[in-house]
Amino acid sequence: MPLTYSSEGCLRVGQQAPDFTATAVVDQEFKTVKLSDYRGKYTVLFFYPLDFTFVCPTEITAFSDRYEEFKKLNTEILGVSVDSEFSHLAWIQTDRKAGGVGDLNYPLVSDIKKEVSAAYNVLDPEAGVALRGLFIIDKDGVIQHATINNLSFGRNVEETLRTLQAIQYVQSHPDEVCPAGWQPGDQTMNPDPVKSKVYFSAI
C-alpha cells in the first residue's frame, strides 16, 4: 500500500497517520505488521536511529518494561528503525547486559527502505537514520501527539503515558480540557471564559 503524505509534505497533529505495511520482529519471529490493523486501539509509534547503539536500548527496554500499563489503556507500541529485521532479531537475541534489548513485549519494525521514516518526516537524510520521533495515534488513526528529539538524548516513558492518559480523557470528556502537568484524578477545566474561573479559583 502506498504511503500517504499531507499536501504540504509536513505531517501534523490532527491528520491521519500514514499507513504502512512492513516486516517486524514479534516474539523472535518475522511477521508482517500494518498500522491500520491497530485501528480501534491507541498506538504509540516511535522511531529510533539504529540497533546496537547507546541511547536506543534504554528507550526500547523502558517501553517494554512498562508495556502492561499501555496495554491496560488499550494501547499498542511499535518501535521503528531503518535496520533490517535480521538486525532487530540479533539485537533482541542479545542479552541486555551485553548491549542488547532481550525479549520485547512489542514489535520492532524494519524500515530498511526508509519509507516509513520519510512518511512521518523524521528521516535525517544526511545521517540516513530516523530522529527520535514519537507519535500517539488514536483509535481512528488520527495523530494526537508528536514529538521529535535529536539523536543524542532519549525520551521519557512516564511522560508518554501521561500524555496518552490526557488524550484519552479529553476524548471521552469533550467539554473538558487538561491543564499543564495534568495527571489522572487531577482537576480539569471547562474551556469557557466564565466556567474556567472555577478551575482558576481552586488553584
User: Could you tell me the CA-to-CA distances from 164 to 3, 12, 56, 67 in Å, in that order?
Assistant: 25, 17, 21, 13
Q: Which three cell numbers stand for residue 81?
A: 528503525
Beta bridge partners of 142: 16
How far is residue 13's CA from residue 6's CA, in Å, rounded to a whole number?
11
Q: Which of 44, 56, 60, 143 is catalytic?
A: 56
Nearest Cα to 88, choosing from 45, 51, 123, 57?
A: 51
178 is catalytic: no
Q: Is 9 exposed, middle or buried (0-12, 13-18, 19+ CB in 10 A)?
A: exposed
Residue with cell 491543564: 179
Query: 52: exposed, middle or buried (C-beta count within 10 Å: 0-12, 13-18, 19+)?
Result: middle
**Radius of gyration, alpha carbons of the chain:** 18
Active site amino acids? 56
